[in-house]
Amino acid sequence: MAEVSLKGVKKSFGRVEIIKGVDIHINDGEFVVFVGPSGCGKSTLLRMIAGLEDITEGTLEIGGRVVNQLQPKQRGVAMVFQSYAIFPHMTVRENIAFGLTIARASKQEKQQKVAEAARILQMEHLLDRRPSQLSGGQRQRVAIGRAITRKPAVFLFDEPLSNLDAALRMDMRMEIGRLRRQLGTTMIYVTHDQVEAMTLADRIVVLKDGQVMQIGAPMELYHEPANRFVAGFLGAPSMNFLNVDVLDLDGEAAMVGNQSLEPIRVATRGRPFRKGGKAILGVRPQYLRAVQSGKGLLHGIVAHAERLGSETVVDLSLRDNSELIAAFDEDKVFEPGDALELTFDTALAHLFPDEGELQTH
């Protein structure tokens, strides 16, 4: 087990800077998830930790040792790939024992460790099969088995569940969670799936354009996003953003409103706003409640409703023609064209500076 520390890490391919200075400290035994949209550099960052990509600038420490110049095998890491990357010409047993074979482990040690991995992953009956005889979920299990037999200091997962179908993905997600509790090893997990991030992580690192947007516990990021990107990235359906006018400012709060929104007071959380200027109000769909006419903060017309059984997701068109999504946690019937008034706890709303506004001032 080991700590992993990235200090001012940068990566360029030619003149293009992919990772623009990343500082992350991962504690011993921690499960950290790198999450972000395609092309944000999360996989590149993981590959740099694995030693599959050079580090252009900055230092990478694993277990207190600078490993920038070390080969993958000297770093004490194991990696699980999106495409499983299990060797097609070897049986499951040979695949799992590959690292041990390379390390010239004794036959007895190999047998014992393969048996242990097979027991943990419940695949004793698959050991003599070839990869072509396995399903996607079983293949990924083999890849994980290969990773755990070497008892690495750090586990790296590169979108391990992306190739699986939805039902299997949930099973494997739970299995990885269980594995993590069983092994207690430091794990770094890359995904673009925020559900995986929210459910598995001790801490989430949200990346965008090669920069860290925010690091924190899942609920911390969910409830206190540092910026509009993080707020919009985590949570499903994603947070609503309304363009509002800043009507008044008083110390720690701002009075905002627009054509569709009654004036409300929202905490500024230390962000800069200007009276008379523009701002963006973020409200999660789950925080919206339908109320009787005359009591709502927001006024809209139902455009489309989806009944999911446990919740109802409504797409509304507001007076200023902007769109709003509301999620009610029960089965309700709405017809397109229905007028709907909504309210929410203003303490749960977030106010973000308008990016265009910031550039002009």
Partner 1 sequence: MAVNPDNYGLRLFVRYLVLCLIALIFIFPLVFMINSSFKPDSQLLADTSSLRAFLPVGDISLNNYFGAFRRAPVGLFVLNSVLVTGVTVLLSLLICSLAAFSFAFLRWKGRDVLLSIVIATLIIPFETIAIPLLLLVSKLPWIGLDGLHWGWLNSYRVQIIPWVADGLTIFLFVQYFKGLPGELIEASRVEGASWWQVYYRLVMPLSGPVLATAAILKFLVMYNQYLWPLIVVQQESYRPVMVGLGYFFQLNVAWGEVMAYLTLITVPVLVFYLLLQRAFIASIASTGVKG
Binding footprint of partner 1 on the chain (CB under 8 A)? 50-52, 71-73, 77-79, 81-83, 85-89, 98-99, 101-103, 131-132, 134, 139, 143, 146, 150
Here the tokens at position 336 are 């397109």
**Of the two residues 70 and 255, which places its CB atom closer to partner 1 in the complex?**
70
**Phi then psi dihedrals of residue 122, to 5 deg:** 50, 55
The structure tokens 């953003």 sit at 241
SS3 assignment, position 201:
coil
**Of the two residues 99 and 218, which places its CB atom closer to partner 1 in the complex?**
99
Give the C-alpha separation, 248 to 194, whole Å: 36
Q: Give the shortest CB-125-to-partner 1 separation in angstroms.
A: 19
SS3 assignment, position 288:
coil
Q: Give the shortest CB-98-to-partner 1 separation in angstroms.
A: 5
Give the C-alpha separation, 47 to 55, whole Å: 10
Q: Give the shortest CB-22-to-partner 1 separation in angstroms.
A: 21
**Of the two residues 38 and 132, which places its CB atom closer to partner 1 in the complex?**
132
Parallel, antiparallel or unpaired: strands 240-250 and 211-216: unpaired
Contact between 339 and 301 (Cβ < 8 Å):
yes
> Distance between terminal CA atoms of the chain?
49
Q: Give the shortest CB-262-to-partner 1 separation in angstroms.
A: 55
**Of the two residues 66 and 85, which places its CB atom closer to partner 1 in the complex?**
85
**Of the two residues 34 and 222, which places its CB atom closer to partner 1 in the complex?**
34
Q: Give the shortest CB-71-to-partner 1 separation in angstroms.
A: 8
Residue 135, Cβ neighbours under 10 Å: how many? Answer: 11
Give the C-alpha separation, 320 to 261, whole Å: 9
Q: Give the shortest CB-104-to-partner 1 separation in angstroms.
A: 10
Residue 18, Cβ neighbours under 10 Å: how many? Answer: 18
The secondary structure of residue 150, as a DSSP letter, is T
Sheet holding 298-307, edge to edge: 289-291, 339-343, 298-307, 312-318, 323-328
Query: Which residues partner with 33 through β-bridges?
Result: 189, 204
**Of the two residues 152 and 285, which places its CB atom closer to partner 1 in the complex?**
152
Q: Give the shortest CB-12-to-partner 1 separation in angstroms.
A: 15
**Of the two residues 72 and 232, which places its CB atom closer to partner 1 in the complex?**
72
